[in-house]
Amino acid sequence: MTPSFRLESTWDASEAPNGRFDFALVNLGVETLERFQVAYTALTRVIDRAACRNARFVERDANYHAYAPPEGFRLAPGETWRFSVGGLHRPARHRTDGPKSAYLTDAAGRHHAVAVADCMLAGAPSELPPPRLPQGHLDQPFALLPWPRRVALQPGEAVPVALHPEEGSAAQDVLAVDAALALFQRLFPVDHVPFRLVPAPGTRAIRFQTEASMGAEAYAVEFGDAIVVRSGGSAGRQHALVSLAQMLRAARADRERFRFPASGVIEDAPRYGWRGCHLDVSRQFYPVADVLRLVDIMAWAKLDVLHWHLTDDEAWRLEIRAYPELTTTGVLRGPDEPLKPQLGNGAEPVGGFYSQDDVRRVVAHAAALHVEVVPEIDIPGHNAATLVALPDLTDGQEAPESYHSVQGYPNNALNPGIEATYPFLETVLDEMAELFPSRYVHVGGDEVADGAWLASPKAKEVMARAGLSGTFELQSWFLARVQAMLQARGKQLAGWNEVAHGGGVDPAGTLLMAWEKPEVGIELARAGYDVVMTPGQAYYLDMVQDEAWQEPGASWAGTVPPAHTYGYEAEGDLPEELRDRLKGIQACIWSEHFLNRDYFNHLVFPRLYAIAESAWSPRENKSWDRFCTLAPLGPKL
């Protein structure tokens, strides 16, 4: 249904200290309104509730804001209500800092959709950003991304119709070709297939050889009278087939720039064992089909870990059969629901979660493509949805807004002083251990507000009994209990770098992700933790790619153009004696700004491929010019 209202917005920097939003609500309907209110969601939050003009503040919950017009105001068809909102917690820097969604509630309590458009910049044109990639240049005419460790190839003039397993190939080799063919067809359904299972005119045979001396992911391809694929295992064989498919697809589609090899050799193996992609499905829900396609894209880019961020303040997305409230109350956001609309939600309630059968499907699909799925339940912070769904996990004597998270949620952390928290987590981990074969369970551990729990009598009892001081020592005590739960289930703890705060947990077997800044990774390695580098300043794919107002995304970590992501080196200043602690690198897809598929593709690509090449290829083999030519060939969601 076409909305009967539109909310337009402009950000004006002239009002101290952080500017203001000027709003215009246009009545496109046929009825005159009075005694109504409008709600909108925006990441640029109001902290001074009185700082509004021609409007009355009604309510705010994190990114949810509600305002009403002055008493007696009437909005006739075709007319506009103009109002301003200041008192912002930070300046707006890009169009996506403005409203993401809105709805109107009339005097009868009915909710109406309100259309929103880009927030404009007052006093200046809203300039478009420049192109993200230059044209690029190839020094060798082969489409390989990530670029292999060694390439010594001679280009050919002929392009095979397709490649097929040599007659008499082992069953597992035929199955591997079939799997690579199916992957290609899912990613490029219109393109001519690169593989067949049986010969046909114009096809060439692949001979497979297994060499136990090679690493599990290593492979080599020799081109001559025959194409010979040598690999150390099934993962290496898959990587070889992907490389062949990439070259054949490009050579067929663009013969001016690309060739298929006539002779020579590729010798290849990954730089890092952990080549990850994190996906936040709490802020925005991704259907199973989208998650599966992302796994396919990862396999095409030779990424091997899907870090699945399943819970956060906005929603708990993982079915836990012992606690059905988590995926009913804990996922449903709407005007009349316990969870207010956030980050693009409007008049209609929205939900979405993954059943345990969905999870098994994703895990099995990923495993078939040599992608490990590492689940994350974010604790103790980021649990606003959990605590609304399970109010027995709160301390009723704690003041309602005794602390706020950096995202503006009040009292959003699981309370270590509530004894019911621990059987809850035991049960959750029992069900997760059955669903996810990964040795790791990521428990978050990030962004607990300094001052959390200090107004909770039950938390203070624990602190006095255990001799703890402050929020982070209590968090450390809590996470040590969680670590013991995981160990009892044969799992190892993974988390964000704040897990090390307040004394940390036992570093043995613990994997922490350095996200706040690159230097944190060195500190974690010195403390004995295994480390994955994922700094927001380079590897967070929700960050803006240009300073232009029209460029979408977040900006707290700065501007992160593809060239910066590609050029960043995770090893950086890491001392040689600590490099064995660096297990790999990871892209992070945080979904606050990903309201649709176009936003996703604009922000994620080509930067995901830049990280994939840094994760796989030796530093000396990277080439920005080559990458700019090859990255546009990759599939998108």
- The domain that holds 115 is classified in CATH as 2.60.40.290
What pLDDT, in 10s, does the model give residues 601-623? 999 999 999 999 999 999 999 99
Residues 117, 183, single domain; the answer is no
b/e 60-72 (16+ beta carbons within 10 angstroms → b): bbbbbbbbbbeee
Asked if residues 397 and 331 have their Cβ atoms less than 8 Å apart, the reply is no
Asked if residues 314 and 407 have their Cβ atoms less than 8 Å apart, the reply is no
Give the span between the Cα atoms of 431 and 310, in whole angstroms: 14
Q: Calculate mean pLDDT across residues 555-583.
A: 94
- Identify the sign of the CA torsion 89, 92, 93, 95: positive
pLDDT on residue 1: 57
Structure tokens at 91: 């300046």
pLDDT on residue 622: 97
Q: H/E element holding 231?
A: strand 227-231
Indicate whether 467 belongs to any domain: yes
Q: H/E element holding 140?
A: none
Residues 546, 428, single domain; the answer is yes
Q: Calculate mean pLDDT across residues 7-26.
A: 96
pTM summary value: 0.97
Give the span between the Cα atoms of 394 and 421, in whole angstroms: 9
Lowest-confidence pick of 202-206, 267-271, 569-573, 626-630: 569-573
Indicate whether 194 belongs to any domain: yes
CATH code of the domain containing 402? 3.20.20.80
Active site residues: 447
Q: How many CB atoms lie within 10 A of CB 161?
A: 17
Q: How many CB atoms lie within 10 A of CB 289?
A: 8
Asked if residues 154 and 140 have their Cβ atoms less than 8 Å apart, the reply is no
pLDDT on residue 71: 97
Give the span between the Cα atoms of 53 and 20, in whole angstroms: 10
pLDDT on residue 370: 98
Indicate whether 129 belongs to any domain: no
Widest CA span in the chain: 86
Residues 253, 351, single domain; the answer is no
Rg (the chain; Cα; Å): 27
Q: Across the chain, what does the average pLDDT equal?
A: 96
Residues 494, 358, single domain; the answer is yes
Residues 431, 558, single domain; the answer is yes
Q: Calculate mean pLDDT across residues 231-257.
A: 97
Residues 569, 428, single domain; the answer is yes
Give the end of a domain, one of 268, 296, 328.
268
Judge residue 580's burial from the number of C-beta atoms within 10 Å of its C-beta, 0-12 exposed, 13-18 middle, 19 or more buried: exposed
Q: Is the pLDDT of residue 415 over 70?
A: yes
What pLDDT, in 10s, does the model give residues 178-203? 999 999 999 999 999 999 999 999 99
Residues 102, 177, single domain; the answer is no
Please give the backbone phi and psi of residue 8, each rounded to the nearest 5 degrees, phi first: -110, 150
Structure tokens at 152: 């010594």
Give the span between the Cα atoms of 606 and 76, in whole angstroms: 47
Q: Which amino acid is at 372?
A: E
Q: Calculate mean pLDDT across residues 22-36.
A: 97
Structure tokens at 39: 């709600």
Task: Give the β-pairing of 80-85 and 52-53.
Answer: antiparallel
pLDDT on residue 472: 97
What pLDDT, in 10s, does the model give residues 275-329? 999 999 999 999 999 999 999 999 999 999 999 999 999 999 999 999 999 999 9
Residues 259, 327, single domain; the answer is no
Indicate whether 633 belongs to any domain: no
Please name the residue ranges forming H helices in 489-576: 518-526, 536-539, 562-567
pLDDT on residue 391: 97
What pLDDT, in 10s, does the model give residues 481-524? 999 999 999 999 999 999 999 999 999 999 999 999 889 999 99
Give the span between the Cα atoms of 144 and 250, in whole angstroms: 9
* 374 three-class SS: strand
Structure tokens at 402: 């005794």
Give the span between the Cα atoms of 15 and 87, in whole angstroms: 9
Q: Which contacts (CB < 8 Å, 24+ apart) does range 154-158 have?
A: 154/261, 154/262, 154/263, 154/264, 155/259, 155/260, 155/261, 155/262, 156/259, 156/260, 156/261, 156/262, 156/263, 157/259, 157/262, 158/260, 158/262
* Residues 42/47/50/56 CA torsion (nearest 10 deg): 30
Indicate whether 631 belongs to any domain: no
The total number of residues shown for the chain amounts to 637
Residues 290, 408, single domain; the answer is yes
Query: Tokens 């193996």 sit at which residue?
Result: 269
Give the span between the Cα atoms of 63 and 58, in whole angstroms: 14
Number of domains the chain is built from: 3
Give the end of a domain, one of 249, 268, 287.
268
pLDDT on residue 225: 85
Give the span between the Cα atoms of 15 and 131, in whole angstroms: 32
Quick check: bond before 17 cis, omega within 30? yes
Q: How many CB atoms lie within 10 A of CB 391?
A: 12
Residues 323, 264, single domain; the answer is no
Indicate whether 630 belongs to any domain: no
* Residues above pLDDT 90, as percent of the chain: 96
What pLDDT, in 10s, does the model give residues 445-475? 999 999 999 999 999 999 999 999 999 999 9
Q: Is the pLDDT of residue 477 over 90?
A: yes
First to last CA, the chain: 27
pLDDT on residue 3: 81
Residues 474, 596, single domain; the answer is yes
Give the end of a domain, one of 248, 268, 288.
268
Q: Calculate mean pLDDT across residues 151-178.
A: 97
Q: State the residue range of the domain holding 229.
A: 150-268
Structure tokens at 227: 């194409």
Q: Calculate mean pLDDT across residues 397-426.
A: 96
What pLDDT, in 10s, does the model give residues 107-161? 999 999 999 988 999 988 877 888 899 999 999 999 999 999 999 999 999 999 9
| Strand stretches in 492-565, DSSP E | 492-496, 511-514, 530-533
